[in-house]
Amino acid sequence: MDDGQGAALTPADKSWWPFGNPALTLPASYGFAIAHPILFMQEGTRVVTVVFHPVSRNWWRLLSAPVTKDNFIAELTGLKKWVQATITDFGVDDQGRLAFILQLETYGGSGDPL
């Protein structure tokens, strides 16, 4: 069974559970995924800006602890594994929008993480 943990992909469309098959793994506390063909990356330094527009402007004020970039991990799917990106900037603006700037170094040839 395609488990999202490294098992061979058996569906014809090569789909898989990006966070693990819920029938086989424990759920994470929180998480989300963003997918779009524009995010297909080749070798070189890549910078991705992600901005979330929440329903409430003051969502972050309701949290019990400060929100910093250290509260998050950004990973991108690679050819054979998840590849961790660096969160180079993070912030919440006066409209409550949450913004991340992610940077990933990709390499060509045998050391290609993507």
pLDDT of residue 2: 59
Q: Give per-residue pLDDT as tens, 60-88.
A: 777 777 778 888 888 877 767 778 889 99
Tell me, yes or no, whether 44 and 99 share the same domain.
yes
Domain that holds residue 56: 37-111
Whole-angstrom CA distances from 113 to 17, 29, 36, 66 are 20, 27, 19, 33
What does DSSP assign to residue 24? T
Tell me, yes or no, whether 24 and 46 share the same domain.
no
Sign of CA dihedral 75, 76, 77, 79: negative
Q: Work out the mean pLDDT of the chain and round it to a whole number.
A: 75
Tell me, yes or no, whether 53 and 3 share the same domain.
no
Tell me, yes or no, whether 63 and 106 share the same domain.
yes
pLDDT of residue 110: 44
Does residue 108 register a pLDDT over 80?
no
Tell me, yes or no, whether 98 and 42 share the same domain.
yes
pTM of the model as a whole: 0.62
